[in-house]
Amino acid sequence: MVLHDDTRANPKTRQLRSALACKPGGWPDNIDLSTPEWFPLVPPWDANELEKIASWLPGVLAEVAAQLDDDSVTPLTADQILPLAQAVSALWHHQGNNPRTPVARPEMPQGFQELISGKESVSPAASRQAFRWANEKMSLLVGRYVKSHSDSNRKQTFQEVPYDDHIAERYEIDRPRRSQFQNALAEVGKRQTDGRAILELGAGTGVITRSLAPRARSWVALEISQPMAKKLSQNSSAVQAVQVISADAMRIPLRDSCVDTVIEHEALCFADEPIKAVAEAIRVLKENGCIVRLVSRTEKTALDIQLETVFHKALRRKGYGPFCLRGRGTDARITEWLSRNGWVTHEELVATWKELRSRDWILKPLENRGWPYLLSVPLEVTQECAREAREFLSDGCSELKDESEVSVSLKMLTSRTEEA
C-alpha cells in the first residue's frame, strides 16, 4: 500500500492541477478550459430548470462576451463581473432562475470563488476562463434542451437523456465481467463493505452491487439514468440489503452522516462536476468514513488499436465524429482536491490478471452502440463500420491475430480524513 504520490502525475495532469489550484489573480493563460478535455460534457439537468435557464443565460453571456477583450489587461468592473458571476453560480448549482446573489462553494475552483465573491483582484484572464466555461456549459445545455423537445412535446428529464433503454440492455451483454474481476471484487468486499452501510455512486446495471451488496449491512445504489436504474433493480432484487435510487450524485437524496463508505467504479467521470459529487459524498459520510474509488484498466493491444482505428475512420467518412471521450484526469483531480481539504488517499493494486480478447469482444460494444458517445449514431451506421473493421482483418490487410492476450488490473483508491 502506498500513499498517493503527486510526482507520478504526467505533465498534462500537473497542468490541470495548476489550473484548478488557481493562483490569486486568475488562471494561467495557457490553460484553455473551453476545450472538452478539461471538463465533462453531459450536464444532467431537470427539464423544468433547463427551460428556465435557457430563457435568460444566452442573453447574459452575449452581453458578457461584448465586454471581454482578448487583449485587455484591465480588470472588469464590479457591475461587469456580476452577470458573469450569476451565470457561473446558476450553472454550478443547477439553478434555473437567475440568482440575484451568486453563491460560492468550497468545491468550486478558486477562480470561480474569487469571481463570485466580487474580489477586485480577478484578472481579465480569469474572467475569460470563467466565460469560456460558462459558455461551453450553456451551449451544451441549450443544445440538449432543444434536442429533447424537438421530437416530442413531452418534457423529458435529463435522467433519461444520457442513457436510453437500448444502452441499458446492451450494457452487460457487450461488456461481460470475467471471473477474475469478480474475484478481485470479493477482495474489495472483505476490506471495505462487510457489515457496513454503503452508498454506491453510478451503480449502472449492478455489476458492483450484485457482487458486494450481500456482504453489507445496507446498500444504497444511486444511478441517475432511469433505464439503467430499472435494470439495476431487476438485477439486484434478490439482495435484501439493496435500495435503488434514481438520482444525481451531485444531489444525493440522503441525510447527513448516514453511511460508512461511499464507493464508485469509474462513475464520477460522468458527473457534470465530479468535485461537486465528491463534496456530496463527504456530506453523507459518517465520522471516520471513507470514499473508495475502484479503477479497472485493460492493456490496449495492437488488435484493439487497429480495430478501433478502422471503426472510427469509417464513422468519420460517414460524417460522424470526432467524439469527445470523457473522464481524462478525473481521479487525479479528485485526489488533489481531497488532499487540499485534509483527506489522505491510499492507492492499492487489488489484483492483476490475463484475459483473452477476440475481435468480437472489441467490436460488439461499438457495433451495438454500447458506449454512450455512440448513441447519436444510427445503429445501421455503427454496424456497417464494424463490418468494415472485420473485413479489414479478414482481407489480410492486417497481420494481427484474431484474438490476443491482455493484462487487466483493478486498483482501489481509499480516501479518509487525516484524523481517521
pLDDT for residue 29 is more than 50: no
Q: What is the mean pLDDT of the chain?
A: 78
pLDDT for residue 64 is more than 90: no
Closest Cα partner for 352 from 298, 408, 404, 411? Answer: 408
pLDDT recorded at residue 164: 62
pLDDT for residue 6 is more than 50: no
pLDDT for residue 184 is more than 60: yes
pLDDT recorded at residue 156: 37
pTM: 0.74
pLDDT recorded at residue 233: 93
pLDDT for residue 264 is more than 90: yes
Phi, psi values for residue 242, rounded to 5°:
-85, 130
Sheet holding 403-417, edge to edge: 2-3, 343-358, 403-417, 285-298, 259-265, 197-201, 218-222, 242-245
When pLDDT is cut at 50, 70 and 90, the band that residue 44 belongs to is: low
Angle at 147 between CA 34 and CA 273, to 5 degrees: 40
- The C-alpha cell at 210 is 450484485
**Least reliable range by pLDDT among 79-93, 156-170, 241-255:** 156-170
pLDDT in tens, 112-132: 888 888 766 677 778 888 888
pLDDT recorded at residue 75: 74
Q: Mean pLDDT: which of 49-58, 112-121, 171-180, 238-247 is highest?
A: 238-247
pLDDT for residue 48 is more than 60: yes
pLDDT recorded at residue 388: 93
Q: Beta 403-417 vs 343-358: how paired, if at all?
A: antiparallel
Closest Cα partner for 372 from 304, 265, 270? Answer: 270
Q: For residues 229 and 293, which has the higher predicted lDDT (pLDDT)?
A: 293
Q: Which residue has the cell 435522467?
A: 159
pLDDT in tens, 363-406: 999 998 887 778 778 899 999 999 999 888 776 655 566 778 88
pLDDT recorded at residue 111: 79
Q: How far apart are the first and last CA of the chain?
A: 17
Q: For residues 35 and 83, which has the higher predicted lDDT (pLDDT)?
A: 83
Share of the chain above pLDDT 90, in %: 33
Residues 6+ apart with CB under 8 A from 167: 227, 228, 369, 370, 372, 375
Cβ atoms of residues 331 and 413 within 8 Å: yes
Cβ atoms of residues 356 and 403 within 8 Å: yes
Q: For residues 412 and 371, which has the higher predicted lDDT (pLDDT)?
A: 412
Q: For residues 16 and 286, which has the higher predicted lDDT (pLDDT)?
A: 286
**Least reliable range by pLDDT among 22-26, 27-31, 335-339, 364-368:** 22-26
When pLDDT is cut at 50, 70 and 90, the band that residue 160 belongs to is: very low
Q: For residues 166 and 15, which has the higher predicted lDDT (pLDDT)?
A: 166
Mean pLDDT, rounded, for 40-49: 56
When pLDDT is cut at 50, 70 and 90, the band that residue 409 belongs to is: very high
pLDDT recorded at residue 157: 38
pLDDT for residue 68 is more than 90: no
Side chain identity, residue 269: C
pLDDT recorded at residue 2: 25
To the nearest 10°, the Cα dihedral for 312, 317, 322, 325? -20
pLDDT recorded at residue 347: 96
pLDDT recorded at residue 12: 34
pLDDT in tens, 291-319: 999 999 888 888 888 889 999 999 999 98
Q: For residues 297 and 4, which has the higher predicted lDDT (pLDDT)?
A: 297
pLDDT recorded at residue 356: 86
Residues 362 and 308: their CA atoms lie apart, in Å, by 8
